[in-house]
Structure 1
Amino acid sequence: MPRPVRSPRSAVRRPVTIGVVAVLLLAVGYLVAVAVVPFAPASATTTTYSAPTSTLPDLRFPGYGATAVQATGFPESLRTSGDTEPRSIASITKVVTALVVLDAKPLDRGASGPTIRFDAQMQALYAEYLAQNGEVAPMPDGLQLSEYQTMQVMLMKSANNYAGALALWAFGSMGAYQRAASTWLEAHGLDHTTIHEPTGLDPANQSTATDLVRLGQLALADPVVKEIVGTQQVTVPGAGQIENSNKLLGLDGIEGIKTGTLDQAGACLLFAATYQRGGRQVTVVGVMLGGRDHPSLDVDVRTLLRSVADNFQVVTLTHAGQTFGTYSTPWHDDADAVADRAAEVLVWGDTRVTARTRLDSVTLGDRGERVGTVRFTIEHHDPVTVPLELERSIEDPGLWWRWTNPFRGVETTAAAGPTAAAAPTAAAGPAPAASAGRWGLAA
């Protein structure tokens, strides 16, 4: 049979069809590849943190003697003025006596403690101390008081005969008291304090202002002593009505601690005051030694305390929603990394604040998604870390953008991981190593 004859046109059509199919397959492959290829993480940049600033008043110290003051829990707040050498401390000695006796004869809060029977040796102290022009309180024959009541008379009225009686009751002799006091002082790091007897009538009972601030903090830490020195008036059987010798008690938040008066020491006051600052209570402990008299000393104490209280400030580290970084995508969809909550800290005086931002690697994300942290370092305080979240969603740009922007922003092996402000990667853009500011100025 004769073979069919192929048309020349048919022979040409086959390569054309194959070419068209190939082009279509390539186009489909391209569209599929562009549609599924993963994007690299959005580029991230951190913002510069500006620490808040404020001008604060100087402290108002007197021009005499020795003074020290500190807010408990704020070690940076310790400030001093005047003498740094030990000075006579007069009846502030009785705070040491109270704490030394309580160390040997502990009292639970609210308890009266054992009964003290005042013997002839104790009663003889009345005439002895009165002859030295010292403060005394009645101690009639046969008087019996609790340990707590005896301490009330000693600390509130500053009665020397009751201080001596406590020392004899607890330790048996004045020499034994002195040895116990020395041991207690050493154990509590009061290395510049010397106590020879329990009343303060001996001018050789000496201490430094900074040691006395520590003593005041120890006194307030003891619930029995704190309660007694904060009591304005009480009636004690045999001793009568006892009024606190501290005339500042209850004024300007003052809650103690102990007066002292001696020719060699001048007018003295170990004091404490509590304030509400930044939603919390803060206690300031201080001492003034060597005043002319108590009325003028009291004025100086109140002036100093007001200036100390004015140095407490609440620093707002960040507001909720404050921007600490920005993510940028190739399709021009930007989203900020913002603080998910406000953060603040109570500080005293001149305080340095720095911030360090860390941004996670983000490609797509939903609004509110956590994307990093900002860590605040506050001088003299524990650091504060605040999570960062996306202020708005980063959404996929869609197929059309992918098809019309082939392989823009695709993931490569050089894509960046999490970004720290201190070590920006190529994907992070410029970022400060850390941001800092001085907050406040104080003496």
Structure 2
Amino acid sequence: MKTSLAAALLSLALLPALSTAQAATTGKSTRVVKTAKAKATPTRKVKSVVVRKTAAPVVRAVPTFGQVAGLHDVDDPLELRSSVAYVLDQNTNEVLFSKNPQAVLPIASITKLMTALVVVESGLPMDEKLTVTDEDRDTEKNTGSRLAFGTTLTRGEMLHLALMSSENRAAHALGRHYPGGLNAFVAAMNAKAQSLGMADTHYVEPTGLSSRNQSSAADLAKLVNVTSQVPILRDLSTSREARVALGKRTVQFRSTNGLLANPLWDIGLQKTGFINEAGKCVVMQARMAGRQLIMVFLDSSGKTSRIADAERMRKWLASLPGVAEQAVSAKL
């Protein structure tokens, strides 16, 4: 017992000395490491800086002419996203649905229907070769094109791409190769509109890129009525795709209207359009419930809203008993 107590006292006596020795050893070792690190990378005092993320600037969408005019505030029973909608029985001229039909708005690439009609009625040869040049460059919206400058296609091929894929350079080249040039072509477009009784319609160029190309739903129904009776315009506008030889390569073009692939739709003629000022637009002639109908949707807000509006209209028309006895009006 005395031996154990003596040993314990001895251990307690030696503990401070051991701690001092360990500290000295550790300190020496630490100093060596610090010295080595100091030689490798000199120690500097660095001020910590807090970087705050700046919120991305909010890019506001450019309002359409219809939004500015308050056309979207007009209610309709189908709750359409289009501020303008118009459905007409082509055979009886009965208006089945009407929402802001007289509102005059930019029509974007629906312009190309008139472009195509003037080209066809000109009697110019469809197999004549036309070349895309720098004169066909889009200086309005600075959009690109799959038709490079120097591309040569027939007038028929240009017409096909303008109607099916809404090719702007093709439409512009068609107008530029008209007898008398582009100015004469635009004059012919406006003269044709007047002859069809399209009093609210005015064109300044053949592509629809300009917001100054304007019309109303009632006027566009007249245009669809006429163009839907031209076989080549029916065929080309409802074509779903085409492979075109552009130099050494073959390029596939597709329709801008997804409804052409929908088996529930029987479309005889169609044209879509979009620029910021016009919103999403589409006009169609379609057979539905045993009737030939003309449909116009302008200034639709949303990526797929014009197609969704057309579907709402189709379902509504299919649900009507007798269809012909039903008419809805939501006018501004």
TM-score normalised according to structure 1 size: 0.52
Which residue number corresponds to residue 133 of structure 2?
123
Q: Which runs of 5+ in 1 are unaligned?
A: 1-57, 108-112, 314-347, 351-440
Deviation of 1:75 after TM superposition, in Å, equals: 1.6
Contact 1:135 1:158 in 2 (8 A): no
1:80 and 2:88 are equivalent in the alignment: no
Give the corresponding residue for 1:415.
none
Task: Tell me by how many angstroms 1:135 deviates.
Answer: 5.5
Shift of 1:312: 6.4
1:300 matched to 2:309? The reply is yes
| Deviation readout 1:263-318 (Å, 9 max, x if unpaired) | 110111112322353xxxx22211111111341221111111222244363xxxxx
Please report how far the alpha carbon of residue 64 of structure 1 lies from its aligned counterpart in structure 2 after TM superposition: 4.1
In proportion to residue count, which structure has more strand? 1
> Are 1:284 and 2:293 an aligned pair?
yes
Residue 7 of structure 1 corresponds to none
Aligned residues: 248
CA contact (8 A) 2:87 2:96 kept: yes
State which structure, 1 or 2, has the greater radius of gyration over its C-alpha atoms. 1
Query: Percent same amino acid among aligned pairs?
Result: 24
Deviations 1:28-76 (A, max 9, x none): xxxxxxxxxxxxxxxxxxxxxxxxxxxxxx9736154211111210222
Q: How far off is 1:442 after superposition?
A: 4.5
Please give the per-residue CA displacement for 1:362-411, whole angstroms capped at 9, x wherever unaligned: xxxxxxxxxxxxxxxxxxxxxxxxxxxxxxxxxxxxxxxxxxxxxxxxxx
Give the corresponding residue for 1:90.
108
User: Where does residue 185 of structure 2 map in the other structure?
Assistant: 177
Partner in structure 2 of residue 319 of structure 1: none
Task: Give unmatched runs, 5+ long, in structure 2.
Answer: 1-75
Per the alignment, residue 245 of structure 1 pairs with: 256
Kindly report which structure 2 residues correspond to 1:387-402, keeping only aligned pairs within 5 A, or say none: none
1:66 aligns with 2:41: no
- Is 1:134 the counterpart of 2:134? The answer is no
Please tell me the residue identity of whatever aligns with 1:81.
K
Question: Residue 315 of structure 2: SS of its match in structure 1?
Answer: helix
- Match of 1:101? 119
Q: Give the corresponding residue for 1:268.
A: 281
More helix by share: 2
Contact 1:125–1:161 under 8 Å retained in 2? no
CA distance in 1, matches of 2:163, 2:101: 26
SS at match of 2:232: helix
TM-superposed CA distance for 1:129, in Å, is: 1.2
C-alpha RMSD of matched pairs (Å): 2.3
Q: Structure 2 matches for 1:23-422, cutoff 5 A?
A: 60=78, 62=80, 64-82=82-100, 84-105=102-123, 113-118=126-131, 122-126=132-136, 128-129=137-138, 132-134=141-143, 136-139=145-148, 141=150, 143-238=151-246, 240-251=251-262, 252-255=264-267, 256-275=269-288, 277=290, 282-311=291-320, 313=322, 348-350=323-325
- SS of 2:178 mapped into structure 1: helix
Deviation by residue 1:101-124 (Cα, 9 ceiling, x = unmatched) = 1111267xxxxx231231xxx411
Map 1:431-442 to 2 at 5 A: 442=327
Q: What's the CA shift for 1:172?
A: 3.6
Distance 1:171 1:139 in 2: 24
Q: Aligned residue for 1:5? A: none
Distance 1:237 1:285 in 2: 34
